Amino acid sequence: MSGLARVLARQGVHVTGSDLRESPTLEALRREAGIVATAGHQAANVQDAGLVVVSAAVRGGNPEITAAQAAGIPIVSRAEMLGRMMNRYPHSIAVTGTHGKTTTTGMIATMLDIAGLDATVLIGGDLPRLGGNARAGDSGLFLTEACEAYDSFLDLTPALAVITNIEADHLDYYGDLENVLRSFRQFLSQVTETAVLCGDDSNIRRLIAEDRGTPAIVTYGLSSHVCLRACDLALDGMRPSYTVYRHDTRLGAVTLAVPGLHNVLNSLAAVSVGLQLELPWAQIADGLAQFTGTGRRFERLGETASGTLVIDDYAHHPTEIRATLAAARRAHPERRIVAVFQPHLPSRTQDFKRQFAESFGDADFVVLTDIYLAREQPIEGVTGAGLAALTADRRGAEHVAYVADKAQIPARLADMVCPGDLLITLGAGDIRTAAEEFLAREGAAA
């Protein structure tokens, strides 16, 4: 929502907004974009509005929605507003998938910036090169991250789309994987020109097998059957590298500034987009080399005076946790890894509890805390303590701790973290604050 607000304000629209409580996001909107951003939802906030845009997190009974309905003010979802914006641009790109959307969009945005294409961009995380999570460009090119939750991406009809992977998630809405696939199938049918798909993903291959002729399909991955393939992989350390082949033709070498096999795949998607846009290889490779990550994606927060490296990551699905910890292990094999995980949503914790418990294999020690409820209500019997117990059964009790109160985590970590360790916080809630407070408590390295 904040990115959408920034772009609209930059384009001359008078934008106001509100959120449940005060936050750095609201402060930044006021300071940087001149937007009237209010803490708290109340009817008075919409009295002068010509249109009300609502995020998926807002439920019925909200006083602003009620007031808008009473006043006859049109109400649209964020996804519908994003679709309206996209339709104003002759060239549009949407990046979706269960995992890797934000990073892949950030890689493409960096590439476009280096190429001087002045695209309008919306990303699900802050990209330092843009100075935030959005930028209003002056060209006819539009790039956005497209969220698959609650069928949001079905309001979009991009010319070019990326699907990074497909996996069961958001089962509180979809119910099962087949419904997830049905939604992605519909999205794919709405792409007007070309779809860039990860050919290594088994669920995406199911969609490819149903190829109806439109859109045109370009595949990428590590497998021999894809159109665009990464070979000669070197994954150790913070700068993975590989060589790109289009079928049997060598295109060039790529070196990344973000770790992990998952980022190799994300970057291959970005390469595919660059080639579709006919960018010179030098600009494609330079864009990937200069991409240093987005906010909350393996983000380095600092290092303590005793040498503990502190990282924060948005991973909140078992597959994401596994990939992030594998990247941490590859990047820092000499460090002991302490992972602090805040489960996100009772429904997701219930749906994937066994997978969560088995996802911490590359961590030496795991700390779990209570579930971040976000938009949901508690589910009886689904708790952070229960997930911690299940994880302890898999890993051994000596490798797992449960700290119910997140506020107590920084102090407790003092007894769990050793000099030279890698501490990584994981989750889509507010667990980052625990990492920041630990870093402040221990003192940052000079």
CB 283 within 8 A of CB 114: yes
Catalytic annotation, pick one of 64, 105, 144, 145? 145
| Angstrom distance (rounded) from CA 247 to CA 250 | 8
Local mean pLDDT, 10-residue blocks, the chain (446 residues): 96 95 92 94 95 90 95 97 98 99 99 98 96 97 98 98 98 97 97 98 96 89 97 95 98 98 98 98 98 97 97 98 98 98 98 98 98 95 98 97 98 96 98 97 84
Exposed/middle/buried for residue 61 (C-beta within 10 Å: 0-12, 13-18, 19+): exposed
The yes-or-no answer on residue 145 being catalytic is yes
Q: What is the pLDDT of residue 212?
A: 78
Q: Which amino acid is at 281?
A: W
Return the percent helix, strand and coil in the chain, to nearest 5: 40, 25, 40
Residue 53 to residues 16, 68, 383, Cα–Cα distance (Å): 10, 11, 33
Task: Tell which phi-psi region holds residue 67, choosing left (phi > 0), alpha (psi between -120 and 50) or beta.
Answer: alpha
Residues in the chain: 446
Domains of the chain are 2-73 (3.40.50.720), 81-290 (3.40.1190.10), 299-442 (3.90.190.20)
Catalytic annotation, pick one of 101, 110, 164, 319? 101
> What angle, rounded to 10 degrees, do the helices at 2-10 and 78-86 form?
40
Q: What is the pLDDT of residue 446?
A: 64
Catalytic annotation, pick one of 64, 96, 98, 102? 102
The rounded Cα 174 to chain-centroid distance in angstroms is: 19
- 36-47: b or e for each residue (b if 16 or more CB lie within 10 Å)? ebbeebeeebbe
| Angstrom distance (rounded) from CA 134 to CA 145 | 10
List 99's β-bridge partners, or say none.
none
CB 258 within 8 A of CB 291: yes
Helical H runs in 191-297? 202-209, 261-276, 281-290
